[in-house]
Chain A
């Protein structure tokens, strides 16, 4: 029984790792476009 608990724990840990990887959506870093309309003076 004790051994089974260990296995369940490992399985839960593995699921947690998989879940974290699947849900870990890292958005792309944004570069902002700036258009500065000007004239010489």
Chain B
């Protein structure tokens, strides 16, 4: 990117953080960076809450007959844990926090296409969160985050406010998706062709397409369940001729692509960090772009693998099994590309890089267990056991959450103009990776041994593995606590950094750190691809 000379020096004008300091200037902002920052705070709050629920669950599982909380509370807690973690953290986190902040910077735009809609998306998220969490006052619901009918339509627990909250958060997700798609289509600066887009932007684009297509079906599903719960019209009730499987088909049509909404931006972050901190051109820019679109598309054809043992036909099961394996091919292409990029790079092994290494490791193993689960005959044994729990935590926590942490550290200097303490960063990364392994590897073994998920109690001989898992969770929690402390401290006392402390050639690093309110003094033009470190590289232009 050709940069006007004045972008190199310290901005004489106030940054986005200091330009307007009243509460009103934040709550009524049109600035995508402020919206992104507020989202970041919100999703971190959700992560904390979801983590607290998880801790209580793990403590309860220390003894075979359950402890700490009673069985009903246990059911309500795992339901809330799932809802908070998935809808309030995993789905929105990277797009709404980092996507909002970085995408306009990366494409040379002053803001997203619809800034007021962006702010509305934030408020919709908050309202939805309040509805979901507010239902806790009535005890919440005990259906599991998947609220399958007919239990969800007949449970006396407070399922309707929770469903309503999910509906509203879904609207926030759709708004975000629409905004990004339009922004990327219409607001790229001169010279920024599609094949020069940063890979993070491509990943947000792919995730946004999924958000727009899949989320409305979830919206309809929660509406149907809520109406059925209220009026008992029996669309999913066998006693009236309904089919519970219809609800599952509709639910998973969203909820499987939802994991790709989560993982695609995570993969985008990894692409940025790998190129930026290996200081190498991407080993395969186009393969990653096409794999991103491939995952987004093929991911829509795989939902039935959640219905393998529900009574779905074997014909459909076969189709979904094959499609589920196919989707893994694209992920594999990406993994090889990242490793190819790292090979012989000038690697700066810092905290973001460590998280990326963790990401790749956990994505590969979590993903491979996914391929194993796509085999119907194996899933028949593992379904609804801790094997499934371990699988999705590997990819959602081990991979997606690691990428979130990588983003948080890689872009911390960009967002705040300060450095976090690298030593503490690496310490907590090690704790998190070790803690994660200690938590979830035992769960694979537990699941394979037959321990069902969502059960309050379990056979006594499985206690040792459960205790190990809880110990790991504690270590994980300590790691997060350390991160929280040093990041908050660094906000005020972190060493001030120059504009581009990583010396990355990602486009966002050509703006000030922290950026100006209007992003650029002069709108940029682009003359080559991002992360162009090698003279004459075929994908430099």
Q: Do A and B come from one complex?
A: no
A contacts, CB < 8 Å to B: none
B contacts, CB < 8 Å to A: none
